[in-house]
């Protein structure tokens, strides 16, 4: 039995160097693998010191939007004086050449993460055992064990809890910017005034769902919004079309921007010199705009995320459009199509937050609208999944009332905002021009813009007035402003905890807050490399004697068993 225990103690820490090398090699040879793996791993997940150093450099390169390959990584290592330490450029070449394809890189990453977590658990077990022997009571040992275990959970979590103060400061400063007339850079304005007024612009991390029955114009409206945001506001837009080829989408945008009708374009000799002038001006404008189109029909949510990550790193990314959800596949097998669509909807919401930009997702409606007498869209009309309704921040429907009521104008289309987490809901009347695939708002809308007080209507001195109002309000509320903005409150400096009295006279911190594992276990490297645990066998521990009791001047033992304070 003793031999078995000795073999367990002497066993090496869990690791798989081949898997680590495969992960690093995949990052070196494939940008898609780099976008997928680097955010999902941490430096400390790697067991080999050289691999930790290389991954740390790769992560830094990605954050600086520098392409990752053997040349860039070796140059970065050389600059910090660690190229020879990791085995020079020859080791990097071996990593890149040692993996023929990055197809299985996620599987290799799972192995690296698995072994990393196992090592942390083993290190925690050693640390807990050490404190168990050294603590003077079981309660103190239990508290320390909890700190260590929760430290592992905190490290393994993708994102820890953060104080609300950080979000509050950001929110109130954004409000001040808006009051001063500063346009928020990462807000997408569609240039449909009433819709923008209702949504206050499309915001980073939002999922905006636009649903309609076939041939109502949801793709055309999405392309109108893409052209408006790119041409009028300089936004970088990615359009993923799972239905139409890229050249047809481009033709629609040319018609919208130039206002040259399709009938003229498609008729032999139908365009005049003036039409060509308009068309070429539109061509030049769209050519200079940052609009990117992907018409691959088999894109999955993961494919879209990978392509968006790469675009954001290389060119920047402000807005994503997906046409449309029901044509997308998750790439795996699921129990039903509803479950699959629900899963994809949830992923897109997570991706919108990660990319830091709004995603406009087009969707089909069910036929239920045809069966109702009112023919008014409802949230339950979203096809194949109710999860779309839950995940979206804004849900809007396009419908053509003249289809059910011939007395209404045939070119009138209703944009009906049924859900809006950050604003009002209601209808916006649009005029549809099928010959140029263009939408524009009717002037006689049922919903009127709210009018601010005349004192604060935007003018040349709007910023000055807003700053003055903010300073006065802050003074009344006792809030300190720095250059007109709120500062995040300083975190209080933690007080040193009272030292824990230990049997052997050493002092260990008894801190009540959670501690990160690398801080707790930073002094255990010698322990982990030892052939046996430092505290030896159980039988070798002597019983405590009177000499082990620490001296304290606050009490005196007179020998009768009673302590006088």
The backbone region for 400, taken as left when phi is positive above 0, alpha when psi lies in -120 to 50, beta otherwise, is beta
Rounded-to-integer distance, Cα 73 and Cα 57, Å = 7
Summarised one tens digit per residue, pLDDT across range 102-142 is: 778 888 888 998 888 888 888 888 888 887 888 777 766 77
Report residue 455's pLDDT band, with 50, 70 and 90 as the boundaries: very low
| Average pLDDT of span 337-359 | 82
d(CA 384, CA 487): 47
Q: Which residue, 74, 42, 468, 430, is CA-closest to 218?
A: 430
Residues 159-191 pLDDT 10s: 445 566 666 776 777 677 666 666 566 788 898
- Would you tell me how many other CB atoms lie within 10 Å of the CB of residue 401? 16
Range in 46-50, 411-415, 456-460, 490-494 with the lowest mean pLDDT: 456-460
Q: Find the mean pLDDT for residues 133-157.
A: 68
CA 276 to CA 461: how far, in whole Å? 44
Confidence of residue 495 (pLDDT cuts 50, 70, 90): very low
pLDDT over 90 percentage in the chain? 10
> pLDDT for 387-415, tens place per residue?
777 788 899 998 888 888 888 888 888 89
Give residue for tokens 């997928």: 36
Query: Residue 241 and residue 307: Cα distance in Å, rounded?
Result: 13
Residues 320-344: b if buried by 16+ CB within 10 A, e if exposed = bbbbbbbebbeeeeeeeeeebbbbb
What span, in angstroms and rounded, lies between the C-alpha atoms of 189 and 182? 14
Residue 358's pLDDT band (cuts 50, 70, 90): very high
Lowest mean pLDDT among 16-20, 198-202, 271-275, 529-533: 529-533
pLDDT reported for residue 10:
52
Cβ atoms within 10 Å of 544's Cβ, excluding its own: 11
> Highest mean pLDDT: which of 259-268, 342-351, 443-452, 542-551?
259-268
In this predicted structure, the answer to whether residue 223 has a pLDDT above a threshold of 80 is yes
CATH architecture of the domain formed by 2-156: Orthogonal Bundle (1.10)
- Distance (Å, rounded) from C-alpha 34 to C-alpha 540? 51
Q: Which helix (H) or strand (E) holds 395?
A: strand 394-399
What pTM value is reported for the model? 0.59
Q: Are 186 and 318 within 8 A, CB to CB?
A: yes
Q: Taking residues 244-260, what's their average pLDDT?
A: 89
Spell out the residues 6+ positions from residue 404 whose beta carbon is closer than 8 angstroms to its own: 375
**What's the pLDDT band for 457 if we cut at 50, 70, 90?**
very low
Q: Is 458 left (phi over 0), alpha (psi -120 to 50) or beta?
A: beta
Residue ranges covered by each domain of the chain: 2-156, 164-180+458-486, 204-455
pLDDT at 490: 59
Tell me the average pLDDT of the chain. Answer: 76
Structure-token pair, residue 222: 């999405």
In this predicted structure, the answer to whether residue 535 has a pLDDT above a threshold of 50 is: no
82 secondary structure, DSSP code = -
- Phi, psi angles (nearest 5°) of residue 397: -115, 145
Counting residues of the chain whose pLDDT is more than 70, the rounded percentage is 71
- Rounded mean pLDDT, 310-320: 87
In angstroms, rounded to a whole number, what is the distance separating the alpha carbons of residues 191 and 410? 23
Matching residue, tokens 């999405």: 222
Q: Which residue has the tokens 């809030």?
A: 479
Query: Which single residue is written with the structure tokens 């196992």?
Result: 118
Contacts of 191 (CB under 8 A, 6+ apart): 225, 228, 229, 232
pLDDT of residue 386: 61
CA 17 to chain centre: 30
What are the angstrom distances between the C-alpha of 146 and each of 196, 231, 299, 502, 515? 50, 56, 45, 19, 10
Q: Residue 386's beta-bridge partner residues?
A: none
Residue 216 pLDDT: 85
CA angle 235, 35, 247 (to 5 degrees): 45
pLDDT of residue 537: 47
Q: What is the pLDDT of residue 222?
A: 93
Question: Which one has a higher pLDDT value, 336 or 429?
Answer: 429
Identify any residues that bridge with 500 across adjacent strands, giving them in sequence order: 508
Nearest-CA neighbor of 524 among 534, 510, 509? 534
Per-residue pLDDT band for 513 (boundaries 50, 70, 90) equals very low
Which of 185-189, 319-323, 487-491, 555-559 ranks highest by mean pLDDT? 319-323
Judged by average pLDDT, the poorest of 126-135, 338-347, 350-359, 527-536 is 527-536
Q: For residue 92, count other CB atoms closer than 10 A to its CB.
A: 22
Catalytic residues: 243
C-alpha closest to that of 242 among 353, 335, 361, 392 = 361
Rounded CA separation 465/455 (Å): 9
Per-residue pLDDT tens for 38-92?
888 888 889 989 999 999 999 888 877 788 898 999 999 999 998 988 888 889 9
For 288, counting Cβ atoms within 10 Å of its Cβ (0-12 exposed, 13-18 middle, 19+ buried), the class is: exposed
Instruction: Check residue 225 and give its pLDDT.
Output: 93
- Report for 7-16, 167-176, 372-381, 482-491: range of highest mean pLDDT: 372-381
Estimate the crossing angle of helix 218-233 against helix 273-288, to 10 degrees: 70
Quick one: which of 407, 371, 439 has its CA closest to 210? 439
Phi-psi region of 309 (alpha: psi -120 to 50; beta: other; left: phi over 0): alpha
Q: What pLDDT does 564 receive?
A: 47
Strands, E assignment, 299-383: 319-323, 359-364
d(CA 524, CA 46): 17
Helix (H) or strand (E) holding 551, with range, is none
Cis omega (within 30 of 0) on the bond before 403?
no
Where is average pLDDT lowest: 273-287, 298-312, 373-387, 522-536?
A: 522-536
Fold of 204-455: Rossmann fold (3.40.50)
Which residues make beta-bridge pairs with 284? none
């Amino acid at each position: 039995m003793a031999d078995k225990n000795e073999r367990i103690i002497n066993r090496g820490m869990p690791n798989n160097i081949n898997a680590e090398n495969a992960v690093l090699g995949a990052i070196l040879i494939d940008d898609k693998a780099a976008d997928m793996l680097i955010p999902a791993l941490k430096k400390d997940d790697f067991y080999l010191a050289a691999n930790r150093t290389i991954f740390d450099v790769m992560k830094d390169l990605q954050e600086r939007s520098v392409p990752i390959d053997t040349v860039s990584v070796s140059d970065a290592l050389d600059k910090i004086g660690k190229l020879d330490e990791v085995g020079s450029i020859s080791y990097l070449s071996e990593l890149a050449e040692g993996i023929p394809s990055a197809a299985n890189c996620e599987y290799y990453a799972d192995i690296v993460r698995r072994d990393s977590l196992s090592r942390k658990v083993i290190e925690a077990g050693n640390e807990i055992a050490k404190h168990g022997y050294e603590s003077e009571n079981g309660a103190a040992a239990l508290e320390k064990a909890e700190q260590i275990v929760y430290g592992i959970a905190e490290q393994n979590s993708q994102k820890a809890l953060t104080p609300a103060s950080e979000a509050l400061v950001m929110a109130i400063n954004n409000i001040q910017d808006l009051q001063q007339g500063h346009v928020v850079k990462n807000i997408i304005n569609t240039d449909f005034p009433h819709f923008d007024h209702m949504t206050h612009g499309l915001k980073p991390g939002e999922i905006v769902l636009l649903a309609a029955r076939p041939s109502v114009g949801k793709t055309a409206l999405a392309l109108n919004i893409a052209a408006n945001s790119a041409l009028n506001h300089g936004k970088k837009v990615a359009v993923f079309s799972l239905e139409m080829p890229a050249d047809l989408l481009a033709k629609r945008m040319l018609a919208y921007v130039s206002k040259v009708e399709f009938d003229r374009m498609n008729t032999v000799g139908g365009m005049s010199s003036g039409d060509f002038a308009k068309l070429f001006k539109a061509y030049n404008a769209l050519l200079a705009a940052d609009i990117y189109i992907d018409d691959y029909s088999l894109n999955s949510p993961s494919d879209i995320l990978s392509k968006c990550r790469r675009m954001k790193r290389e060119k920047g990314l402000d807005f994503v459009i997906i046409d449309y959800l029901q044509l997308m596949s998750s790439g795996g097998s699921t129990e039903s199509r509803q479950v699959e669509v629900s899963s994809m909807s949830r992923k897109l919401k997570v991706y919108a937050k990660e990319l830091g930009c709004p995603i406009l997702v087009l969707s089909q409606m069910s036929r239920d609208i045809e069966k109702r007498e009112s023919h008014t869209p409802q949230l339950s009309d979203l096809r194949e999944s109710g999860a779309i309704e839950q995940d979206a921040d804004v849900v809007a429907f396009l419908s053509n009332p003249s289809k059910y009521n011939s007395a209404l104008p045939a070119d009138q289309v209703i944009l009906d905002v049924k859900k809006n987490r950050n604003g009002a809901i209601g209808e916006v009347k649009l005029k549809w021009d099928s010959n140029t695939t263009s939408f524009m708002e009717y002037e006689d809308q049922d919903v009127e813009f709210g009018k601010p007080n005349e004192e604060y209507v935007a003018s040349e001195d709007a910023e000055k007035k807003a700053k003055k109002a903010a300073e006065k309000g802050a003074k009344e509320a006792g809030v300190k402003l720095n250059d007109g903005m709120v500062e995040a409150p300083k975190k209080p400096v933690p007080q040193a905890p009272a030292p824990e009295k230990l049997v052997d006279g050493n002092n260990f911190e008894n801190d009540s807050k959670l501690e990160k594992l690398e801080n707790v276990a930073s002094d255990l490297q010698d322990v982990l490399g030892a052939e046996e645990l430092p505290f030896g066998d159980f039988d070798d521990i002597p019983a405590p004697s009177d000499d082990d009791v620490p001296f304290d001047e606050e009490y005196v033992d007179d020998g009768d068993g009673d302590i006088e304070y």
